[in-house]
């Protein structure tokens, strides 16, 4: 889902969520909401449908996506054991209820009488649930994530979109900056269903839909929809869901049940709070060079280190994180330079 500010992108996301909330209970559908902007989707923080608390820290997004990949692989193993191909077959399969027969009980008593000398300790198999819920992952601003760790985020999204549909895991990705470095070829190839709202140029339209047209839309929910199995675009008008309606809907659903997070995924996310990474001698050399540049320039930012030392974004961001952990630099505040907390001239 892509479009410029004010074109109706956020209203479309709200309409999709509201439609699913009307149709599915928390036992049938779980949401994983990733909202780096910390504004658009916070209204849903009390929903009982949430599998995780709303993820706002870009550093935790990758761990959330990896935990979804683990969940996907676990579901496929479960499908193989039961003998089904997808979530529809799994949830529709007949339930086997064990019936205790009298002759079986007699045999069990005989076995117990023989003693436990020849018995091996049995490993309890994982309990297979009767039904599993669908999981819908909603990423509100892809551009923010592609700035932090583009290769890792792209790989994780590609893996989920390639394989997770049969496991009942679906992805909704939104961005208001439809550039080629945000909506990469790998991501586009694995997301065949696309919605384009009004964009500024034909180039942006081609990035989203591979053809012109979105640049001539009227805004206010006017959209072009590309279904997965169709080659022709469908022009449609998006539904209007107001903020007041969203608040009333969430309030009504939240009153019935509190959020029940997926314990395994939640623990995995919490355990990644901020592990201290091992700093190599090569990193230490870079730290010294970076400190010298910061001392000369009297300011600090990832882009400055990238430019002066010809580093990639990931490497420069790692050095800045190390300096922040050591109390030399303050926390990041968007595009502003970092605050220098130590007098580097005095330290020299």
Specify the residue for token string 């107001």.
242
Q: What pLDDT score was predicted for residue 57?
A: 81
Strands 194-196 and 222-226: antiparallel
CA 35 to chain centre: 9
Look at residue 270 in the predicted model and tell me its pLDDT: 61
140 in helix, strand or coil?
Answer: coil
Task: Name residue, tokens 């193993």.
Answer: 77
- Predicted local confidence at residue 203, as pLDDT: 92
- 209: CB partners within 8 A, 6+ apart: 194, 196, 224, 226, 233
- Those residues of the chain that have pLDDT short of 50 are 99-102, 105, 109, 113-124, 273-276
Q: Across-strand partners of 143?
A: none
Model confidence, pTM: 0.70
pLDDT at 172: 94
Name the fold adopted by 281-347.
Answer: Arc Repressor Mutant, subunit A (1.10.10)
Domain ranges in the chain?
A: 9-84+131-270, 281-347
Q: Specify the pLDDT at position 266.
A: 64
DSSP 303: H
Query: Can you tell me the distance from the alpha carbon of 92 to that of 37, in angstroms, rounded to the nearest whole number?
Result: 39
Task: Provide the CA 93 distance to its chain's centre, in angstroms.
Answer: 30
Same fold, 9-84+131-270 and 281-347: no
β partners of residue 104: none
How many Å apart are CA 145 and CA 57, to the nearest integer?
10
Q: Which CATH superfamily is domain 9-84+131-270 in?
A: P-loop containing nucleotide triphosphate hydrolases (3.40.50.300)
Q: Give the contacts of 233 (CB within 8 A, at least 6 positions apart).
A: 209, 211, 213, 224, 225, 226
Q: How many Cβ atoms sit within 10 Å of the Cβ of residue 69? A: 16
Can you tell me the distance from the alpha carbon of 221 to that of 201, in angstroms, rounded to the nearest whole number?
17
Helical pair 313-325 and 302-309, crossing angle rounded to 10 deg: 120
């Amino acid at each position: 889902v892509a479009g410029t500010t004010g074109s109706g992108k956020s209203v479309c996301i709200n309409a999709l969520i509201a439609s699913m909330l009307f149709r599915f209970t928390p036992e049938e559908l779980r949401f994983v909401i990733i909202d780096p902007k910390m504004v658009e989707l916070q209204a849903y923080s009390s929903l009982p449908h949430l599998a995780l608390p709303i993820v706002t820290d870009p550093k935790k997004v990758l761990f959330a996506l990896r935990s979804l990949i683990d969940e996907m692989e676990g579901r496929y193993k479960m499908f193989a054991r039961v003998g089904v191909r997808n979530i529809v077959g799994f949830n529709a399969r007949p339930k086997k209820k064990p019936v205790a027969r009298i002759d079986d009980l007699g045999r069990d008593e005989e076995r117990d009488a023989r003693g436990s000398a020849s018995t091996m300790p049995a490993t309890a198999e994982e309990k297979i649930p009767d039904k599993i819920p669908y999981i819908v992952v909603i990423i509100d601003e892809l551009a923010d994530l592609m700035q932090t760790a583009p290769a890792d985020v792209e790989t994780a999204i590609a893996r989920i979109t390639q394989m997770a549909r049969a496991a009942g895991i679906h992805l909704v990705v939104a961005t208001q900056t439809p550039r080629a470095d945000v909506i990469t070829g790998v991501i586009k190839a694995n997301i065949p269903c696309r919605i384009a709202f009004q964009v500024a140029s034909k180039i942006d339209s081609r990035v989203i839909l591979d053809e012109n047209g979105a640049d001539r839309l009227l805004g206010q929910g006017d959209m072009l929809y590309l279904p997965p199995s169709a080659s022709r675009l469908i022009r449609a008008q998006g539904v209007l869901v107001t903020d007041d309606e969203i608040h009333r809907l969430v309030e009504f659903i939240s009153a019935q049940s509190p959020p029940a997070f997926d314990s395994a995924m939640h623990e995995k996310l919490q355990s990644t709070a901020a592990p201290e990474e091992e700093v190599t001698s090569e990193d230490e050399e870079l730290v010294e060079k970076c400190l010298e540049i910061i001392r000369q320039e009297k300011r600090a930012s990832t882009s400055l280190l990238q430019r002066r030392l010809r580093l990639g974004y990931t490497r420069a961001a790692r050095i800045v994180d190390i300096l922040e952990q050591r109390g030399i630099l303050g926390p990041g505040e968007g595009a502003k330079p970092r605050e220098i907390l130590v007098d580097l001239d005095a330290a020299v």
